[in-house]
């Protein structure tokens, strides 16, 4: 089975999440869900993360933008990831590591 460019981005995100021990899943749209939910939902060290994966010049839909905005307003992190910014996944996890470390150091 040939992978699509977008599935390759998803595979890279998942590899980074696995390497760091993050919990993650792919929401399944089956008629009971809400349209626009990001491709990958994760939790890392108590932080809620969502990743919308795109390839090439792919852009988010209006529904995806609404969900990303809702996640931000609720205090979570939602990022649109493509081939050019895949390092943002690792950077975000490192920022969480730093935040958690500073919280425990100051306690």
**Number of domains into which the chain is organized:** 1
Spell out the per-residue pLDDT of the chain, length 107, in tens. 458 889 999 999 999 999 999 999 999 877 777 889 999 999 999 999 999 999 988 899 999 999 999 999 999 999 999 999 999 999 999 999 999 988 877 65
From the list 53, 44, 60, the residue with the least C-alpha distance to 26 is 53
CATH of the domain at 21: 3.40.1350.10
Question: For residue 54, what are the domain limits?
Answer: 5-105
Please give the model's pTM, rounded to 2 decimal places. 0.91
Residue 69: the pLDDT is: 98
Tokens of 98: 């730093």
Residue 47: the pLDDT is: 97
The whole-angstrom distance between residue 55's C-alpha and the CA centroid of its chain comes to 14
Sheet containing strand 23-25, edge to edge, reads 23-25, 40-44, 47-53, 77-81
Collect all residues with Cβ–Cβ distance below 8 Å to 75 and sequence separation of at least 6. 48
Residue 2: the pLDDT is: 57
Taking the CA atoms of the chain, what radius of gyration do you get in angstroms? 14
From the list 63, 19, 64, the residue with the least C-alpha distance to 44 is 19
Residue 42: the pLDDT is: 98
Determine the 3-state secondary structure of 78 from DSSP: strand
């Amino acid at each position: 089975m040939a992978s699509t460019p977008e599935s390759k981005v998803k595979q890279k995100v998942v590899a980074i999440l696995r390497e760091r021990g993050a919990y993650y899943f792919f929401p399944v749209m089956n008629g009971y869900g809400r349209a626009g939910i990001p491709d990958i939902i994760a939790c890392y060290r108590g932080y809620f993360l969502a990743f919308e994966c795109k390839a090439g010049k792919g852009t988010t839909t209006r529904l995806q933008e609404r969900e990303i905005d809702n996640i931000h307003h609720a205090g979570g992190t939602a990022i649109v990831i493509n081939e050019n910014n895949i390092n943002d996944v690792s950077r975000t996890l490192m920022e969480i590591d730093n935040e958690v470390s500073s919280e425990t150091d100051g306690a």
